[in-house]
Amino acid sequence: MANTRSQEAIPTALTGIIAPMYTPVHRDGAIDDVGVRAMVEWLADRRCVRSVFARSGMGKMFTFTVDETMRFASMVQEANAGRMGLLLGSGGEWLGQREGGRAEFDTYVGQAIHLTRFAGSIGADAAVHVLPAAIDPAAGESHADLVYRYYRAIDEETETPVVLYQPGGMPEPYRLTPALMGRLLELPGIVGLKLSTDDDSVFDPIADVVRDHPFAFICGHEGYYARGLRKGAVGVIGQGCNGYPEILAAAEARERAGDPSGADRAMDDVWRGLDATNGLDSSVALKQYIASQGYAVQPYDRSGSEPCDDATVQRLRTALNRLRGPYCEELGLPCPV
């Protein structure tokens, strides 16, 4: 199969507010079907979330099997019913890798190809692939060559657009460099990148490489969004896209309207939103906040963190409602309760 990159505008689904969807689960970690529908409804009801990123890092992507990824993605797409775009984390199984286990290239890339094809079959807008730090280079192969070989294999065997993902904490040998980014841009199926950093020295060199290409450069750190927009970013994926997307949407709207100081004021509130969950497991605490807004999402996560106590949830609800309220009014969106 041969991929061809469109020379048209960047797909809308890869722009704006993209929520790295939390994975609703029961206490035992099994996926909660009711909670999945409720989480999708919450995001759709915000009316400013452009796309959902299912099997995200915040959704504990490393805990998913291939079969579970397919089932979860189907549930999300059915609940979504076309209201938002869909990105699917489509890498191979990460099970055991947190304990230092390594993946075998052919098995891992085979799973990745299978899930990338599946993403396309259900109408996902893109498959997201973390840089393959789970795989060791072959004898005599550089890490950069391994990364390129991984993405070239996916590009040659699939037709679904692919978004690269460099999380924070990526081991240095696997990280993108301008030279590697330039090579990857030659693969027509590579259409975007989520780069999780608020460090100019990491962001700027990659921004310089992709700037003149039809390429979706996505801020992977919500606190960097306004600065990223000024450097060519077109979207954001971060915690706040789940819990307080209106603030990020307002920052973007102000920036695009030529009001950078207004965008920066909104970004101050984005940081206040991050501070509100400081010291908490946000994947649990924000689920509890969403439940406080009337959506049936259980207070559990595959991290194993216990639910926050009622006083903590009330404090979080008060803080986020106060932050979100003015931006909901500014944008004409549903106000918090």
- pLDDT 10s digits, 32-83: 999 999 999 999 999 999 999 999 999 999 999 999 999 999 999 999 999 9
**CA dist., res. 199 & res. 267, Å (int):** 16
Tell me the pTM. Answer: 0.95
Q: Tell me the C-alpha distance between 71 and 129, whole Å.
A: 18
Q: Which domains does the chain have, with CATH numbers?
A: 12-330 (3.20.20.70)
- Binning pLDDT at 50, 70 and 90, where does residue 100 land? low
Choose among 131, 138, 108: nearest CA to 180: 131
Q: What is the rounded CA–CA span in Å between residue 257 and residue 263?
A: 9
Burial of 280 (0-12, 13-18, 19+ CB in 10 A): middle
| pLDDT value of position 1 | 45
In DSSP notation, 168-199 reads: TT--GGGS--HHHHHHHTTSTTEEEEEE----
pLDDT in tens, 183-227: 999 999 999 999 999 999 999 999 999 999 999 999 999 999 999
Q: Are 219 and 236 in contact (CB under 8 A)?
A: yes
pLDDT band of residue 99 (cuts 50, 70, 90) is low
